[in-house]
Amino acid sequence: MQSNAHSVLEHVFGYHQFRGEQQTIIDTLIQGDDALVLMPTGGGKSLCYQIPALVRPGTGVVISPLIALMQDQVDALKALGVKAGFLNSTLSLEQVRELENALLQGQLDMLYIAPERLIQPRTLALLKQAEIALFAIDEAHCVSQWGHDFRNDYLQLSLLHREFPQVPRIALTATADQRTRTEIAERLDLTQARHFVSSFDRPNIQYRIERKDGARNQLLRLLRAEHAGEAGIVYCLSRNKVDRVAEWL
């Protein structure tokens, strides 16, 4: 199985070696065990469930709260030759039926699905008719009532262990302190899962807070004095403000 994982890593995704604890996480899932993964953005979380989904028989089911991210992930996988699809509110009834048939016929490697759709009885009945390789719960911090990204639908995802006891599960997040990790494990019924916590030390990142005093001029001084000729991202509180700041810049 390990050699299969390396083969998929190289021939499908174009990488020659794993990073950090990726291989251990992947081996854990391939062997049929559960995992809770805390890994910073850019750490390679997606490979931790994509590779086991391709190595294990059946379809890997990924629960994601972000419709736009589903589309991006599926497009990227298809470009690599992976048979992937998604089920969410953007699809027509005909498209839904076509995808469901592909799932039942074993023609999908990966299926991305919104949490509110997954917990519907009709969807659960559909999944029970298919061969499922694993369940990946992305953005798992959405289960935490301490966080601003809380999603009530995530609270019901513990049913996966009850309804599919033989299917390995992996919960992934880039945002969780110890208290939140404990809450994720309890609410998703992953208390027996192996925990993988990667270091968040980023020497190239710093936080600085300044009192607001002529925000545009402050931004301009920062760009000219510290980031001349560099690329970066300016965040604003609304789309309208983003448009106005971008035009001004």
Residue 169: CATH number of its domain: 3.40.50.300
Encode pLDDT of 138-162 as tens digits.
Answer: 988 888 766 556 778 888 899 999 9
Q: Is residue 203 situated within a structural domain?
A: no
Question: Which residues face 35 on adjacent strands?
Answer: 170, 194
Is residue 199 scored above 80 in pLDDT? no
Is residue 86 scored above 70 in pLDDT? yes
Total number of domains constituting the chain: 2
* 114 shares a domain with 234: no
Q: Report d(CA 192, CA 155) in Å as an integer.
A: 18
pLDDT of the residue at 67:
84
pLDDT of the residue at 198:
82
Is residue 2 scored above 70 in pLDDT? no
Least confident of 145-154, 161-170, 182-191, 218-227: 145-154
| 94 token code pair | 């005909």
Structural domain for 237, as ranges: 215-248
Average pLDDT estimate for 56-63: 96
* 227 shares a domain with 166: no
Average pLDDT estimate for 82-100: 92
Report field, pTM of the whole predicted structure over 0.85 = no
Q: Is residue 202 situated within a structural domain?
A: no
Q: Are 117 and 144 in contact (CB under 8 A)?
A: no
* 22 shares a domain with 118: yes
Share of the chain above pLDDT 70, in %: 96
